[in-house]
Amino acid sequence: MLPLKEKDKPIVQKLLSAGCCARCVLRFCCVTIQAAYRQAQHETLEELKAFITEKESNVSQTSTYEHNKSQDAALSETVEDPPCKRAKLVPTLTVQSEAGSAAVVTLRNVESHIAETVKAQNYMFDTMVLSVSLPAQLCVREHSCWLHVKKEVREKGLVLDRDDVIQVKEAFKWVMQGLVTKELGSVAVVSKSPFEVGVEFTHPETESDCHFLAKSCPDCFKPTKNKQSVFTRMAVVKALEKISDARFLQHYPSPPLEPSSSCTPQDIQCLHMSVFIAGRYNKFCRSLPQTPWVIDGERRMESSVEELIAAPILSAFRADGFNFSSSGREDVDVRTLGNGRPFAMELLNPHRSRFSKEEMKQLQETINESSDKVRVRDLQIVTREAMSRMKEGEEEKTKTYTALVWTQKAIEKEDITFINDIKDLTLDQKTPLRVLHRRTLAIRQRVIHSMNARYVDSHHFYLGLKTQAGTYIKEFVHGDFGRTKPNLCQLLKTDTDILELDVESVDVDWPPPIPE
């Protein structure tokens, strides 16, 4: 039984006699029970017809509407004996009944069309959101239909708030969700899901329906860059809000004319929300940039840390692309040892998004084995929000390094022991010459918390440093023509240079370690 009340009767009569489809009648009666829209249109139509011909005697008397029997009878008559055409052409009056009509005439095709498209793209998902974009001119037809109903509502002294009328889009989705669910098997079509299927409908036959609005509200229709037509949904809605009923009715019939065709799905797009993945990487190679290195459009170095890590991940998640970020970065000739450097990646439009712990470990192994240049640990799926933890307070974090230092003057073991006693040495670092092209010129203060020296031979020693993040180590060692002060040359009173540099630890406690 349809949940209709006595007060709905005149509206049902009015719309049916104008040739409106059964589902649109339900919309204007503000029926919110989704199942009512899902049942076959012809059944709904039968019920509606039975409802209006049924004498008022045995209908729930919840309405405040005072019956006018003679009028009621007169209206019933027109419906009891409808022109054949109307009876046959259920979905007619409006394009919104047209969407209803898409629902009747081409519904089978639409839902299997959607299902086929989704299947062909090979996504792994168990819920999906269906988003529908209906032609803008539908708003005009809906408005026309509303004026038709409004007239009736006024005359009968009924109460109907336009906001309570169910939107075509909603009703259409209610119908479609069930059908698509059926087509796709175990997938639930829901209102919130990371996987979205967007269907755009067009209806060429009625495309010019909104053109008259351009005259009544020229301001509403301004050309915008990436839209082919000025008649966007937003613009049409705005113009309809401005136009008076009288003016509208001068230009557009109410009720609207019956269209002869249905809306057709023009474009079906699938999009899965980004998945975020994090971990820590080691880099064991002194000729590997962190990101692709391109100078004047020409590629230097055949690979990069991000590409070596991303390739197996992209293929496992079957994603369209990625954004890589990390907690700081190392130079092309610097190794990253110890527990590695935290990194995170946004995977764009992944076709697969769920991995078990075992599968993640497997993926980590694949990365580890794909080259001897990088290794990854603590690989895990994280939330977008958690990613910001990596960048949080980055400046305050500490890093430890080992540098192989050359001295011009010959040194003895005792010459470098004083280094071990230096604590919290504050440096003034003018932006290094080598990064001036990408960083603004400034003097930055950085702190070296502690150092230790390990003698190698008369011209070499290993210098261990624990520093504030962002300290330029190479510049501290060679002085950068006095741009970093104090520097190691000054401390040792001889020229020094850096031959090798390793990052030993990046003290950021994110992402959390994954126990082996």
Ligand X SMILES: *[C@@H]1O[C@H](CO)[C@@H](O)[C@H](O)[C@H]1NC(C)=O
Task: List contacts with ligand X (CB under 6 A).
Answer: 57-58, 68, 70-71, 282, 321, 323, 346, 361, 364-365, 368, 375-377
- Beta carbons within 8 Å of 250's beta carbon, 6+ residues apart: none
Q: Closer CB to ligand X, residue 73 or residue 456? A: 73
Query: Do residues 171 and 100 make contact, with C-beta atoms less than 8 angstroms apart?
Result: yes
Give the residue from 331, 325, 287 showing the smallest Cα distance to 306. Answer: 325
Q: Write the Ramachandran bin of 470: left for phi over 0, alpha for psi from -120 to 50, otherwise beta.
A: left
Residue 384 CB, nearest approach to ligand X (Å): 9
Query: Do residues 136 and 209 make contact, with C-beta atoms less than 8 angstroms apart?
Result: no
Q: Closer CB to ligand X, residue 71 or residue 229? A: 71
Give the residue from 509, 278, 510 showing the smallest Cα distance to 382. Answer: 278
Alpha carbons 403 and 453: distance in angstroms, whole number = 10
Query: Do residues 330 and 283 make contact, with C-beta atoms less than 8 angstroms apart?
Result: yes
Task: Give the DSSP per-residue string, 167-207.
Answer: PHHHHHHHHHHHHHHHHHSSPEEESS-SEEEEEEEE-GGGG
3-state secondary structure of 95: helix
Q: Closer CB to ligand X, residue 205 or residue 346? A: 346
Angle, CA 492 vertex, CA 487 and CA 495 arms, to 5°: 75
Query: Do residues 335 and 283 make contact, with C-beta atoms less than 8 angstroms apart?
Result: yes
Q: Closer CB to ligand X, residue 62 or residue 186? A: 62
- Give 128's strand partners: 189
Residue 81 CB, nearest approach to ligand X (Å): 19
Q: Closer CB to ligand X, residue 133 or residue 368? A: 368
CB atoms within 10 A of CB 75: 20
Alpha carbons 6 and 427: distance in angstroms, whole number = 84
Q: Closer CB to ligand X, residue 10 or residue 479? A: 10
Residue 379 CB, nearest approach to ligand X (Å): 8
Angle, CA 111 vertex, CA 105 and CA 113 arms, to 5°: 100
Alpha carbons 507 and 509: distance in angstroms, whole number = 6
Q: Closer CB to ligand X, residue 284 or residue 455? A: 284
Q: Residue 222 has which token pair? A: 């301004």
Q: Closer CB to ligand X, residue 72 or residue 497? A: 72
Residue 328 CB, nearest approach to ligand X (Å): 17
Residue 51 CB, nearest approach to ligand X (Å): 13
Q: Are strands 443-457 and 496-506 parallel, antiparallel or unpaired?
A: unpaired
Q: Residue 205 has which token pair? A: 């036959």
Alpha carbons 214 and 241: distance in angstroms, whole number = 13
- CA 437 to chain CA centroid, Å, is 34
Q: Closer CB to ligand X, residue 117 or residue 366? A: 366
Residue 376 CB, nearest approach to ligand X (Å): 6
Which H or E element spans position 214?
A: helix 213-216
Residue 178 CB, nearest approach to ligand X (Å): 28
Residue 364 CB, nearest approach to ligand X (Å): 4
Q: Which of 72, 320, 331, 507 is catalytic?
A: 331
Residue 76 CB, nearest approach to ligand X (Å): 13
164 is catalytic: no
- State whether the Cα torsion 218-224-230-233 is positive or negative: negative
Q: How many CA atoms lie within 13 A of 411 on its CB side?
A: 25
* Residues noted as catalytic: 331
